[in-house]
Chains A and B, each alone.
Chain A
Amino acid sequence: MNDRFNLYRFASPATFYPLAGTLIPYFWALSAVFGLAGLYIGMLVAPTDFQQGEGYRIIFIHVPASWLSMFIYLVMAFWAAIGLAFNTRLSGMMAQALAPTGALMAFLSLWTGALWGKPMWGAWWVWDARLTSELILLFLYIGYMALTAAIDDPRRADKAGGLLLLVGVVNIPIIYFSVKWWNTLHQGSSVNLTKSSMATTMLYGMLLMAMCFWMYSIAVALMRARTIMLERERNTDWVKAELAGDVQ
């Protein structure tokens, strides 16, 4: 009973705003720590790959970015479902706050993939299943941002965008399983929960970088969410007090 009461309190922007403000520096700090650790392992500690030489080290950016691009989309779809089911204001704001970071991760994944692919396969781009579905994911992010930007009423924008996210969510399992379903150029999944076929140090490096990107995403999304809250709720008392306080 108490838990539920607390949760509903944080569903109100007026309560969530200061909470987010307190948490943001911690997430930046965590991101920096994980990033340094991950880059240390990735650049210095992990051994030179037998087949691919030094160039493979871009995997420490590429794989975490890919993971995050899919994970962020799932989080956005989760918020979309909550928003559509319970008509909460905050879920729509969170989804919109996450979108640019998700798009960035997808773009980073494709771009680092191309930089890796050129020396590896001799081509900047290959039309295999995984790359194509990652490209579709980037288009979905851009489509979501375009749709929400085109709708003036914020509530309608949240709902329409949320519906789009849920329709596109079928793409995520396609990306994930595409490497199994189609034997194409992209190397098979080499990281799974039970056993890993690559050196443990490489795995740790990627996991640390993934944590770094994840903390960064949370920090940036919270910052964006705060701005969205101020903009949408600008007619309420708490926002007017907040802005007056800043001016002083």
Chain B
Amino acid sequence: MLEADNLECVRGERRLFAGLGFKLEAGELLYLQGRNGAGKTSLLRMIIGLLPPETGEIRWKGQPIRRNGDDFRADLCYLGHLNAIKEELTPLENLLASAHLADEDLSEDDALDALEQVGLAGREDLACKYLSQGQKRRVALARLIKERRPLWVLDEPFVALDVAAVDWLAGIISGHLQRGGLAVMTTHQLVAIPAGTVRELRLS
């Protein structure tokens, strides 16, 4: 469903990679690995469509993502280094707002349930600026619990999580893959995710 063809990346004046391609089908997980600066984040940004590749193209369900971007983005959920939450809003408001923006139906009950699962029960009406860094990260991760879009692109999702949280998140991703979703992930920690096929792409 997700295909990359002959991708080339030039950043600043350096060519990071060329001739790169891969195929990812439903239920599969793609691990992007490589040293820092090898181009993992650039490749991720190409996949989500924010960075146009120098040459080559990315296709989702057979269509180049450049052509029907809106349809592609309707199927895409991206979680990066930044939490993408507004500090002035409460966790509940943040979850509802991001679902609303993505044209997803998220009931308030579902949002509260998600927040409870990440351990923020009782804090859902506190403006996020009063939460700790770890709690803010959990608000960002809570989005994934009720997330129904098929393609997940995650940039180092396990960073700064304790062991229990890592297991929990691995479970969420695994559930997504079992439902037929796809995931592309960069991570420095190789985490075992019970899933169908796991592909690895190493950038050097």
Contacts and interface: CB of A to CB of B under 8 A. Distances in A.
Interface in B1-55: 10-14, 52, 54
A235 interface: yes
B45 to A, nearest CB: 13
Interface in B40-97: 52, 54
A154 B13 CA distance: 8
Contacts of B10: 155
Size bin of chain B's contact surface:
under 10
A155 B52 CA distance: 12
A29 B12 CA distance: 37
Contacts, number: 13
A199 B5 CA distance: 65
Nearest to A234: B13
Contacts of B11: 153
A234 B12 CA distance: 12
Interface residues of A, number: 9
A87 B13 CA distance: 15
Contacts of A155: 10
A232 B11 CA distance: 12
A229 to B, nearest CB: 12
A233 interface: yes
Nearest to A235: B13
Nearest to B15: A235
Nearest to A153: B12
Nearest to B11: A153
Nearest to B13: A235
A72 to B, nearest CB: 27
A83 B14 CA distance: 19
Interface string B189-204: 0000000000000000
A162 to B, nearest CB: 15
A152 B11 CA distance: 11
Contacts of A234: 13
Contacts of A154: 12-13
A35 B10 CA distance: 44
Nearest to A156: B12
Contacts of B14: 235
Contacts of B52: 87
Contacts of A232: 13
Contacts of B54: 87
A155 B11 CA distance: 9
A154 B14 CA distance: 12
B131 to A, nearest CB: 34
Interface string A208-237: 000000000000000000000000111100
8 nearest A-B residue pairs (beta carbon): A235-B13, A153-B12, A232-B13, A154-B13, A235-B14, A233-B13, A234-B13, A87-B52
12 contacts: A87-B52, A152-B12, A153-B11, A153-B12, A154-B12, A154-B13, A155-B10, A232-B13, A233-B13, A234-B13, A235-B13, A235-B14
Given A153-B11, A153-B12, 8 more contacts: A87-B52, A87-B54, A154-B12, A154-B13, A155-B10, A232-B13, A234-B13, A235-B14
